[in-house]
Structure 1
């Protein structure tokens, strides 16, 4: 089973943003995201438990930088070349335009992305 990045459906596109999402790829959801500096995921997660993402993610940062904050208050910066695991209970702010490839369990990912879609509609985005 394989897929070319260009064949992953575009789920969202905007200034500096392209989010490609392939659901249920072997039980995981694949995302290839390009997100601009200054993007704060916090407001989109408001209303979820602890106002944070409850979906774990495994990924690779191709370029850019992102500050991740965990529910326990710890923080770490993900930078180009980093492979990562984000357990449930996190949020993030993009510090430099970022390109990431990410894998997430489809069930939890769909719960979070459905919530994010509703928040974007509420916030007018």
Structure 2
């Protein structure tokens, strides 16, 4: 199975941000996101277990950099050109505008996206 980036369904778009995701990849969802510097998922994860993303992600960062903060307080920066694995129990802050593709288990990802949408609505 294959799909072009442009054919992945856009689920959210605002100036400077595009979130795309497509289910149906062997129980996983493929996502392609473009996020601006300063994007911080931390407040959007409130309400999930430990107020963190519990969904694992495997991916590749095409552009920019992002800081990952794990449940144990450890941190790392992922930069353009790096493949990554993020286990459950993390948050993400965009340090430089990013373009990334990742693969995540559909059930867990949908739980996280539902919480993010709810929090975005609450925060206005």
TM-score range, shorter chain: over 0.9
Alpha-carbon distance, 1:15 to partner: 1.4
**Equivalent residue for 1:15?**
15
* Separation (CA, whole Å) in 1 of partners of 2:47 and 2:108: 15
**Equivalent residue for 2:111?**
111
Number of residue-to-residue matches in the alignment? 124
Counterpart mapping for 1:80-95 below 5 A: 80-95=80-95
Deviations 1:17-60 (A, max 9, x none): 01111023221101000000000000000111111000000000
Runs of 4+ in structure 1 off by over 4 angstroms are: none
Say which SS state the counterpart of residue 3 (structure 1) adopts: coil
* Separation (CA, whole Å) in 2 of partners of 1:43 and 1:15: 20
Alpha-carbon distance, 1:95 to partner: 0.3
Alpha-carbon distance, 1:9 to partner: 0.7
* Separation (CA, whole Å) in 1 of partners of 2:24 and 2:90: 22
* Separation (CA, whole Å) in 2 of partners of 1:115 and 1:10: 18
* Separation (CA, whole Å) in 1 of partners of 2:115 and 2:23: 16
What is the root-mean-square deviation in Å for CA atoms of aligned residues? 0.6
**Equivalent residue for 1:35?**
35
- TM-score normalised by L of structure 2: 0.98
* Separation (CA, whole Å) in 1 of partners of 2:24 and 2:118: 21
Instruction: Structure 1: state its 5+ residue gaps.
Output: none
